[in-house]
Structure 1
Amino acid sequence: VLSVGLAPGLTNLLVSHLQSQFDQLHQTDIYILLGLGEPHGAAAARWTVQNLNATYTVRENGQPRQVTSFGEQRVAHFPAALGQRSVYRFNIADQHVLTRTFGLNSVSTWITFDPVAVTKMMAFMRRTRLSALLRYKWVEELVVRSSTAIQYGTETFAIQVTAQGMQAANSQTQTAAIVGKGQGRTTGLVTAPTVTHLLTHELSAGVFHSEQLLEPAPFIKKLTLNGITFYENSGS
């Protein structure tokens, strides 16, 4: 079973929740805010560093398009006190998975960090091509060690999905978001019900993602009982 973390994982389940409110879901944009105040392992830091220079393919309007991490910027409006943040394209697996599991025409994932200074530094490195230095192993290792030795920022995270599609012959946009603290703990809240499902249901052989096993509505309700806040709004 794959997609049992924050992204992919929570992101997939939010898309699944929103899909149920459309006759046809065409496009989703996934916005991720990660607080760096929580301890992170070297593997997570190394993955982030290695993907800063990534070139990858997304699906837009049903067609493949080649993009780069931190190559495009937009503004996202997160719930409550998190407010407006600059977010950047990033090579996270959910955008690749969701085009297959939901058959969407367009899926893109965007990321930002808390503190904001880290996001600005990464954008600056990418824009000035200083990030090319990360291809040297000793530079990569220095950055990884530095980022894991010091925790700064908050432990808050936010996952927000904006979906566009058709409902009753009208174009519609809906947004759903989850805000909480403790990425490691929340990953456990995704993993536990997934494991329970595997133990209590007979499944055919194959590879599954969390949104193919869990019903989003009861799952989200359980999250809210564990200190996670759920937001939702819609517009035409």
Structure 2
Amino acid sequence: MTIGVLLGSGERHGQAALRWTMAGLGALDGSWTMRFPAPHGRRTIHRFPFSDQLTLPQTLQIEQAKTGLCLQSRGATMLLAAARHPTVTRVLRHPRVAEALLTLLTRAHLGNDRFAVTVCSGGARASLAGRQQTRATGLVAALTVARLPSMPPGVRHLEQLVDPVDLLTELSRHGFDLELEPDNRGGATTDSGIPL
């Protein structure tokens, strides 16, 4: 399973989110290309230390999951790649440089608030795109909470509790664009046709 996250640099994020992102820049490991919905097209993705790379192989019983990040601006995405070089990582982790960069990122909002997430698994592909990634994240949480009465007790990950196509379809009713391309090659799939 391969997941690509494209974020617009025009959306405002809190300092904690920016610090978390900056901390992950030194852990970028590998790149690939993915196709996002229009107007984004094919983009270079840089592997980013999102936790789903560790959890999804266990929860979905798949061999591997890799997740990467790119930014709306191709130039800014190229700067992400530079952050994986040890010298740049060292400079970015210097307290004064980190604080200056955090201040700049808090104040500067170039671009717009468009985002896209694309997931490819086997021959299937799903993409969700729209504006305000933080709103989409909040809606996923709210839609999940609404389903709590029908969920079993205990600690689980979201992908263990909801059908992804059902959740994404409901999310798309809130102004997001959803593209689903099923796997037509056969093989084992979830109830909604996502390959295992």
TM bucket (normalised to shorter chain) is 0.7 to 0.9
Q: Which residue does 1:179 correspond to in 2? A: 129
Instruction: Select the structure that is richer in strand.
Output: 1
Q: Please tell me whether residue 203 in structure 1 is matched to residue 126 in structure 2.
A: no
CA contact under 8 A between 1:87 and 1:111: conserved in structure 2?
Answer: yes
Q: Aligned partners of 1:191 and 1:219: how far apart in 2? A: 11
Superposed displacement of residue 133, structure 1: 1.2
Superposed displacement of residue 119, structure 1: 1.1
Provide the alpha-carbon RMSD of the alignment: 1.7
- Work out which of the residue numbers 110, 126, 144 in structure 2 matches 1:194: 144
AA paired with 2:17?
A: A
CA contact under 8 A between 1:30 and 1:160: conserved in structure 2?
Answer: yes
Higher relative contact order structure (alpha carbons within 8 Å, sequence separation ≥ 6): 1
Deviating above 4 A after TM superposition, structure 1's stretches of 4 or more consecutive aligned residues are none
Q: Which residue does 1:32 correspond to in 2? A: 5
- Work out which of the residue numbers 94, 99, 102 in structure 1 matches 2:60: 102
Could you say what secondary structure the match of 1:111 adopts?
strand
CA contact under 8 A between 1:37 and 1:151: conserved in structure 2?
Answer: yes
AA paired with 1:135?
A: R
AA paired with 1:225?
A: R
**CA shift digits 1:141-195 (9 cap, x unpaired):** 111111111111221111111102xxxxxxxx11111111111111121011221
CA contact under 8 A between 1:39 and 1:151: conserved in structure 2?
Answer: yes
Superposed displacement of residue 135, structure 1: 2.3
Deviates more, 1:174-183 or 1:116-125: 116-125
TM-score calculated relative to the size of structure 2: 0.86
Figure out how many residues of one structure are paired with residues of the other and give that number: 184
Could you say what secondary structure the match of 1:232 adopts?
strand
Distance 1:195 1:145, change over 3 A: same
Q: Please tell me whether residue 82 in structure 1 is matched to residue 58 in structure 2.
A: no
Once the two structures are aligned, what percentage of the paired residues are identical? Answer: 33
For structure 1, the 5+ residue unaligned runs are: 1-27, 55-68, 165-172
Could you say what secondary structure the match of 2:65 adopts?
strand
